[in-house]
Structure 1
Amino acid sequence: MRLLLRVLAPLLALLLAVAGLALVVETVTAWVAPASSPLVVPWPAWRSAIEGLTWQSGSVRAVAIVVGVVGLFVLILGLVARRHDVFLADPVPEVTVTTSPRSLARAVGHEVRSHDDVVSASVVASSSKITVKAATLDPAEEVRAAIRDRVTEMLVRLPLARRPRIAVSVTTTKGVK
């Protein structure tokens, strides 16, 4: 999402800059030579086309709906693309300490993969939940409890401001032990 926002923001800024430049050019042209035709934007033709429109016209309502939907999309995109930091306990009131969800997932994943019975594991972390998916050759329930205990112990060692929920799923893989 952040990548899309990083591409969309300069494009919107460029569009607004071009529109502003066209407005300045047309305004200066209208002041200097009022009788001349427009340079870039055919605004007299546009003016005559929109003179007959009212707020009840279907095209005006359609444009308003499209502008509203695009604005809502940009607003939601901006809200979703914000950073989702995981807050750690502050050492002093003047200092705020955070880490990224990716770093937390990497630390938990390293801890889970160090377990002898785990063949492979993937971890997704946020400030509110850690999801662990692991594969083992042993019975899944025994390994699941061991992984949950191990992750819980690790989270106790970390100075997290808020303890995330832990979801662990373990599958038994077929293979030679």
Structure 2
Amino acid sequence: MRVLLRVLAPLVSLAVAALGVLLVVEVVAAWTSPGSGAGLLVPWRDWRTTGETVLWTAPPVLWIAIVAVVAGVVLLAVGLLARRHDIALTSPSPGLTVATAPRVLARLVGSRVRALDPVTAASVTASGRSVVVRARGRGEPDGLRDGARTAAAGVLDALPLARRPRVTVRATPEQPGTSKGVH
């Protein structure tokens, strides 16, 4: 969502700036020739006549209103969902807020899990609510899962997390011939 917000923000800003420039051009044109009232770039007189004759219940007006409401809801949803999802840590003193990014937590857990002897590969996804570890290695999946869970729990215990995330570990055995190490 943040990528979408980073794309939408300049586009909406450019549209608002273009409307502002258009308004300035039209105002200057109206000041220089006050009697015409037709508008330089926008046919204001035609729009006014159309606005006076079209009813609010006409289908084009209703469709324009529906499109405007849907666009507003989409922009509102993108804005609300694009917030940072930092993980809160316990504050060392009152009035001080400490947080870390989920990526940092995932790197810490991942490096600890990858350091285990039977683990050949691991990927970690972290959020404020959960840490998901996908480990691949030699040996039984149950032993691999238990070792990875213990390593992940050790990292979480060492950090001063305000709320401890749930740990989920998925372990799969290494398939013969898929190791990327030296043979």
TM-score tier (shorter): over 0.9
Q: Name the SS of the counterpart of 1:168 in structure 2.
A: strand
Q: Larger deviation: 125-134 or 2-11?
A: 2-11
Question: Identity over aligned residues, as a percent?
Answer: 46
Q: CA deviation at 1:55?
A: 1.7
Q: What amino acid is aligned across from residue 13 of structure 2 in structure 1?
A: A
Q: CA deviation at 1:100?
A: 0.3
* Distance in 1 separating the partners of 2:34 and 2:55: 28
Q: Name the SS of the counterpart of 2:128 in structure 1.
A: coil
1:89 is matched with 90
Q: Larger deviation: 151-160 or 28-37?
A: 28-37
Which residues in structure 2 correspond to 1:21-100 (within 5 Å)?
A: 21-36=21-36, 37-100=38-101
1:122 is matched with 123
Q: CA deviation at 1:49?
A: 2.4
Tell me if 1:142 matches 2:143. yes
Q: What amino acid is aligned across from residue 48 of structure 1 in structure 2?
A: T
* Distance in 2 separating the partners of 1:53 and 1:165: 59
Q: Larger deviation: 37-46 or 81-90?
A: 37-46
Q: What amino acid is aligned across from residue 8 of structure 2 in structure 1?
A: L
In structure 2, runs of 5+ residues without a counterpart are none
* Distance in 2 separating the partners of 1:83 and 1:28: 43
Contact in 1 for aligned 2:87/2:128 (Cα 8 Å): yes
Q: Name the SS of the counterpart of 1:130 in structure 2.
A: strand
2:20 is matched with 20
Q: CA deviation at 1:68?
A: 0.8
Q: CA deviation at 1:79?
A: 1.1
Q: Name the SS of the counterpart of 1:115 in structure 2.
A: coil
RMSD, matched Cα? 1.6
Which TM-score applies when normalising by structure 1? 0.93
Q: CA deviation at 1:102?
A: 0.3
Q: What amino acid is aligned across from residue 55 of structure 2 in structure 1?
A: T
Contact in 2 for aligned 1:128/1:164 (Cα 8 Å): yes
Q: What amino acid is aligned across from residue 29 of structure 1 in structure 2?
A: A
1:163 is matched with 164
* Distance in 2 separating the partners of 1:134 and 1:52: 68
* Distance in 1 separating the partners of 2:155 and 2:20: 56
| Alpha-carbon displacement from aligned partner over 1:19-54 (angstroms, at most 9, x marks no partner) | 122123223323442333421112222222232222
* Distance in 2 separating the partners of 1:160 and 1:74: 33
Contact in 1 for aligned 2:109/2:151 (Cα 8 Å): no
Contact in 2 for aligned 1:137/1:175 (Cα 8 Å): no
* Distance in 2 separating the partners of 1:127 and 1:90: 16
* Distance in 2 separating the partners of 1:54 and 1:28: 32
* Distance in 2 separating the partners of 1:173 and 1:112: 15
Q: What amino acid is aligned across from residue 10 of structure 2 in structure 1?
A: P
Contact in 1 for aligned 2:135/2:144 (Cα 8 Å): no
* Distance in 2 separating the partners of 1:55 and 1:99: 52
